[in-house]
Chain A
Amino acid sequence: MAKVTVNGIEVEVDPSYTILKAAEKAGVSIPTFCYHPRMDPAGSCRICAVELEDSKRVVMSCVTPVADGMKVLTESPKIHDARKTNLELLLLHHPLDCPVCDCGGECPLQNMSFAYGATESRFESHRNDEQEDLKSDVLIFNANRCILCGKCVRICDEIQDVHAIGFINRGFDTIIGPPLGKKLDCEFCGDCLEVCPTGAITDHFVRYKFRPWQLEQHQTTCTNCSSGCQMHVETENESIVRVTSKEGLGPNEGSICVVGRFGFNHVQTPQRFDTPYMRIEHRLVPSSWEELLPELANRLNAIRRKGTDRVAGLISSRVSLEDAYVFQSFFRRVLRSNMIDTGARYGFMNAAIPLVEATGTLRPLVDHEDLLKAKVILLIGTDPVAESNITGLFLKRAARKNRAKLYVVDSEAITLSNRASDHIRINPGGESLFVSVLTEEIVSGGNLSDEWLTRKEELFKNWNVDPGVYQRLVNDLKTAETGILVTGRKMFRNENASLSMVNLMKMTGALGWIEKEGCGILPIPETANDLGVLMMGATYEWLPGLLDARNETSRKKWENAWGTSLSYGSGGGLNQILQGIEEGKINALITMGENPIGHFPAGSKVREILGKLDLIVSLDMFQNELVDMAHFVLPASSSFERTGHFVSVEGFVQKSVQTMAHWGESLPDWEILEKTSLAMGNPMGYESSEGIMKEILRFLPDLSPSTRNGEHFVGGTGDIHLVKPVDSTGFSNPSHVNEPGNISRLSFEMPPHKANRNSVSARFSEWNGKTQPVLDAVSVIPGEGEFVFSMTKSLFHSGKMTLQDPNLKKIQPEGKLRINRQTARKRKIKKGEKITLSSIHGRCSFVVEPSPMVSEFELVFPEHFADSQVLALFPSEIAFSPETGTPTTHRIRVSLSTETVS
């Protein structure tokens, strides 16, 4: 330890500290421009100068390490002069256009000039007269305002690993920008915009639309993906002006992605429903809640009286815990139905069911910090940068800075591939075989039977797996001190996904990663609250707390909790719901942000089946195919207009707060259901989202809000109290609730976000007795002149909803079919041209975009843009997985022609 005195305050710090960090510890703030806590210091702006008392030397505090006995002055006359001169020099070039600069009012350069009284320069001013670079649709580069601190270039290199911008030219002519005078082409995370200490980088979307001091700031949780980023939504007159992030805040540490930063405008577009609609004589007519609710209640009551499981419900997995909880409560308690399912059914369920069976929880074994400590990381079937951007950032850091061995198994190159020590570009269709063989290799300790050896041989022969790389992977996995397996959307949506997941779990177990701290498996949920919605029991399998909905004991538990008897039927998921509707056993459907028609090919019978319903109620924000059929369209509030909790990929339970006024007559989903139950004469009695969360916590106390640093970023959690769990499942007995001894203040107890390793290990060893599924490759190997068409998540959209976002639409206006660059050249297909794909089921035209990332066998399309036309390539007969009931429409064999169809 080194003893350092900063302005007379003595602190003891690690000798690796810089003066700046030591000063921070002493509570002394030193101004900076180019310093950034997450990046290597650059020492280029010279504003953090400090004086060493003994030697009288002026040094830069951000790059100078401390020494024992060092005495530092941060505000001596000498330093004041140095900083003032420095500012005068900066202001030689920097224009004083603060009145028209977006940064004015929150500009460190402005503040510093003010603080040091650099009112006039002793030097002859020499303003630059560079044209602004307006080429990008997102960011504007103004070289005149730039002080060349390089923070933007560094954050793009060091944190984002994107390298989109750099220094151009030399000396006085140096500017910052994208290479070759081209339009900026990057991930548009906007981190450069965030760190710029001047108005040199601004964005098109909000330019000239605000003055920072007039904005109201709301700290909230982003609900676009499962990263659970903390961000600041800034509003004026209750509408959103911009979204910013704050360094170090939240699990995202201050970085947010393109969707979070720029994708906020869809909630304030005129396309949104602002009033409830009712269908009268085949037409949807605007109505009011007062007029509509009694009518809806009557019709629901009539159907409810026919028996149990008569009304089906589909809920999006992007809603809050509160909404999901009330949803299942409404169905089970009021409608007596267990015919409910979530959007997770389309993919994440393939991971969730095996996970719950094997570990008893959906909480992850590892979080992002564990990724930084891991020695070996295997990414299989996931593109974390697009699926959960912050997981991607941590993986980038793990591989680049911490030198973790990163293995990627994927048919296409992903952003992380160039950081991987090896990328196994397995041919599409071979994933299940790969997982199966790898699992057997690990589980059997390398003693493969002849049958398995044949399989392994096949892997090498037909599926583009290099034996050497494979062996390296096996060795690294076996010998890894700490290892983590990351899997995600591409894996969940593959054929045999749930069985592959079982294999992966068994492999994780055989490697000893279930018991070992810092090791494990990290499945990346597909949406912001896949985990939370399932934990709330918004699916037929589970009651809240992941208790088996069809088990008598768990049903009793919730009957006690709610003080009512539960008489729902055996229920079913998406598959059974569609079947039930077709057979006339289900008469009504209520959807919350879900549109089943959009998930299935045009030729499928889904639309026809839904046509048999007596009643369709759609709670949504925008028009869609289901809305066109619905009898009642109820305007739902967006996540910016209500308060709710979300469970992140790391298991943090975080609060998203209301930041803008309700759009028109729209209401939060839970409130619509509550009002409906009231109109039905069977009120559930929920009054506020705080009240609902309180009820959830009363029964499931381990869902208490949590964040990485143990502090509650999202305001106070109000008067929510924690109840200590009284039985091993974490379920608290409601009769104990009011006993004062069971209540402890939230601040005393930081709920763990990760799974409890002991209980998981115990449960796992029991489950591990289950037979290991033996999987073969799926035969989608393309023949001569054929391709595999597959769909992936785009970085620039969160779901179908963000397609309505004017900002994001500017960034990615349409879905383009990505094709291998060489293949395109060979076939003389150019960027922007239209081609036609045909499968045995149908055909569809696409605009192509050659890409070096895609394998020569594949054609990749962003799933958000997949409408029924695109889905026409898939069989109209929907295949549901026998294990998890998930429908598989992920990839299909196609042939390509350059003719176009209309």
Chain B
Amino acid sequence: MKKYDITVLSKTFCRILEQTAFMFAEEADKNRCSLIDNSFFCSTISFKGPSEGNITLCVPEGISSEIAANILGIETGQEISGQMLEDTVKELTNILCGQFITDVEGTVPVFKFSPPVMKKLQRENWRALLNSANSTSVKIDEIPLILNLEM
């Protein structure tokens, strides 16, 4: 089973964030990422086909409302429910997973995807996820998001 290049995952994420939320992210040096929030939305999708694994997207709660507002086309600061914020991160993970698989495998192979599973991550677990060899980071205005690819 081939192993995918995690840098492709961060490039795919930056592209879909721009397309869906009109926001710009850039690849970050994960050794220079600072903890900037107390709570994080962490969404995971499993894929199964010629290769199999899990993709996780971890977004600080603070920036998730800005992303949701941009995707929905509403004013930043307008109240968005916690459920909507979770759905935003789950939907981004969904799009990320589908786009990433065709970026690395092309459009012929057939993959099955699980529904996204959401969990809240607290600050003590954030650093461990970031430090994983299977994780990379991107920044939106200096705010780090974690992308993890387990295979």
Answer yes or no: are A and B bound together in one complex. no
